[in-house]
Amino acid sequence: MSWAIVVMGVSGAGKSTVGAALAARIGAAFIDADSLHPPANVQKMAAGTPLTDEDRWPWLQLVGAALAAESGSGIVVACSALKRVYRDAIRAVAPSTAFVLLNVATPVLRVRMTLRPGHFMPASLLTSQLETLEPLQQDEIGLAMNSDEGVEATVERISVQLSSLQSDSSRTQPHR
C-alpha cells in the first residue's frame, strides 16, 4: 500500500528533515511544501508577517494536489498544516492523507530556528505558529509524537506506528 503522508508541525519541528528521512525509509517521493509557496507568501514571511488564511488557501490546494498525484510508490510532504481547517483543505483534494504531527519543546524550537541561517521563516513568527497550532483530532488519520530524540529514532517510531495504521483496513483508527 502506498502512503500519502504529511509530516506537520510548527517551524523548527523537523518536518523537512524527518519527512525526507521517512520518505527514504519507505521508498516514497518527498516534497517540502515550502517549495510550493507562491513568491508573495515567501516575501511576506521573510518580512516577518504571518500569512493569512487567504494567503494559504491556494498553497494548500497545491499541497493537496501533490499528495493526490502520488503514483503508487507513496509520497511524504513536509507541511505545517497547523489548523484542522488546513488539513481538511488538503484532505478535500487528497482524502486518504495521513498526518504525522511532530511535537518539540518551545525552547528547542527557538534554538533550531536560530540555527537556520537564510531560511525565509524568521524565529519571530514562532509564537504565532504555536498559537495557531491545533493538534490532531480523534477523527483524523494520523499520529502525534515528540521529535526531539533525533531523526532516526523519530523515523523508526513513525514507521512502526504507520504500519499499525496501515494494518487497520478501514484506516479510521484515531491518531495516537
Higher pLDDT, 149 or 115: 149
Task: Provide the mean pLDDT of the chain.
Answer: 84
User: Does residue 120 register a pLDDT over 70?
Assistant: no
Domain count, the chain: 1
Residue 86 belongs to some domain of the structure:
yes
User: Does residue 113 register a pLDDT over 90?
Assistant: no
**In the prediction, which pLDDT does 88 show?**
97
For residue 140, give every residue at least 6 positions away whose Cβ sits within 8 Å of its Cβ, in sequence order, or none: 84, 87, 99, 174, 175
Residue 81 belongs to some domain of the structure:
yes
Residue 176 belongs to some domain of the structure:
no
What is the model's pTM? 0.84
What angle do helix axes 15-26 and 151-167 make, rounded to 10 degrees?
60
**In the prediction, which pLDDT does 171 show?**
43
User: Does residue 166 register a pLDDT over 90?
Assistant: no
Cα→Cα distances 161→2, 154, 155, 170, Å? 15, 11, 10, 15
**In the prediction, which pLDDT does 126 show?**
67
Residue 136 belongs to some domain of the structure:
yes
Domain that holds residue 82: 4-167
Residue 129 belongs to some domain of the structure:
yes
| C-alpha–C-alpha distance, residues 37 and 117, integer Å | 19
User: Does residue 38 register a pLDDT over 80?
Assistant: yes
Q: At 58, which CATH number?
A: 3.40.50.300
Residue 55 belongs to some domain of the structure:
yes
